[in-house]
């Protein structure tokens, strides 16, 4: 059974729009449609924007969504997923590709999500860091220890064994990083992000997204989706999917758990749809025997 994976923020690259346009007329029409929906020249930014341009959250998230969904669309009948999953933002791409969200609704939700997250970042200075080479449970325990001082820091992304991203206010993230190094972490890497994604500091963004989700039609996808906040089994129920999408802004991305659940659920091969190869790399670290197939 083929499982399709859709990447999240950080997988963008300059010139990615040219790769989209190379896919044909349907892709070009989708980009023009996106310009109309978003209200800014996304096509120009995707084709000629700098790395800094593409790092803006309001640009990054729609850009990755467009790249991923268009790739799925141009596959036509070859896109036959047995199950799907998306890393953070990638859940919206996965659900749109799998027919649970209309293209326009998906793009509007992603754009609103990006703006709401950017606003939350401006309201509270915050950051993230990757802790490498330490057991997941130890990272969680260290975050809880630091949080008892009244400063917010949580384990936000469980990307693969030995790679956990922590998220919170700068002082708490720094202290948790120091404690992680003292506990034996191989490295603690500050991330160039605008704020504390997947933490309680995103509550205002989650509330804004929830209101938009409540006003959006979500259908049962054509195959199960393994969601970030509840990865133990694939979901088809639109109500559960809606809840998962709103909860993920303040909850952790349980990616390691998602991949393992997909393997247990019958996935025999994986394909990544979207810019970059981030998820391909994580897949191999989660399960060396997992089979990856190019789109």
As given in the structure block, the two tokens for residue 39 are 């209200």
Q: Which helix (H) or strand (E) holds 18?
A: helix 16-21
| Greatest extent of the chain over all pairs of C-alpha atoms, in Å | 56
DSSP string, 239-282: HHHHHHHHHTTTS-B-HHHHHHHHHHTT--EEEE-SSSSHHHHH
- Report the distance separating Cα 223 and Cα 221, nearest Å: 5
Instruction: Strand 2-6: give its sheet, edge to edge.
Output: 230-235, 225-227, 83-86, 2-6, 269-272
88 is catalytic: yes
Instruction: Report d(CA 84, CA 86) in Å as an integer.
Output: 7
* Catalytic residue chosen out of the listed positions 87, 167, 198, 258: 198
List 67, 68, 87, 88, catalytic entry = 88
222: helix, coil or strand? Answer: coil
Phi, psi of 95 (to 5 degrees): -70, -35
3-state secondary structure at position 156: strand
Residue-level length of the chain: 295
- Rounded to a whole number of angstroms, the distance between the first and last alpha carbons of the chain is 14
Phi, psi of 249 (to 5 degrees): -65, -30
Instruction: Check if 198 is active-site.
Output: yes
List, by residue number, the catalytic residues.
88, 198
């Amino acid at each position: 059974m083929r499982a399709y994976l859709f990447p999240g923020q950080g997988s963008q690259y300059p010139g990615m729009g040219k790769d989209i346009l190379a896919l044909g007329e349907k892709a070009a029409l989708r980009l023009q449609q996106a310009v109309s929906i978003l209200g800014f020249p996304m096509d120009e930014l995707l084709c000629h924007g700098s790395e800094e341009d593409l790092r803006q959250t309001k640009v990054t998230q729609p850009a990755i969504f467009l790249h991923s969904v268009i790739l799925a669309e141009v596959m036509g009948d070859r896109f036959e997923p047995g199950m799907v999953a998306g890393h953070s933002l990638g859940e919206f791409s996965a659900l749109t590709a799998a027919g649970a969200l209309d293209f326009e609704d998906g793009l509007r939700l992603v754009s609103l999500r990006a703006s709401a997250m950017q606003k939350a970042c401006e309201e509270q200075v915050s950051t993230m860091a990757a802790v490498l080479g330490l057991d997941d449970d130890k990272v969680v325990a260290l975050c809880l220890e630091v949080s008892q001082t009244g400063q917010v820091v949580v384990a936000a992304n469980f990307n693969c064994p030995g790679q956990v991203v922590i998220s919170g206010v700068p002082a708490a993230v720094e202290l948790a990083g120091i404690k992680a190094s003292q506990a034996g972490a191989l490295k603690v890497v500050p991330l160039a992000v605008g704020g504390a994604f997947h933490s309680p500091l995103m509550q205002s963004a989650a509330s804004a997204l929830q209101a938009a989700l409540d006003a959006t039609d979500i259908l049962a996808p054509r195959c199960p989706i393994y969601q970030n906040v509840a990865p133990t089994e694939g979901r088809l129920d639109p109500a559960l999917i809606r809840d998962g999408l709103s909860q993920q802004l303040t909850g952790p991305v349980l990616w390691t758990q998602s991949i393992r659940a997909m393997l247990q659920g019958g996935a025999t091969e994986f394909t990544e749809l979207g810019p970059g190869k981030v998820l391909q790399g994580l897949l191999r670290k989660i399960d060396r025997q997992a089979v990856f197939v190019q789109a």
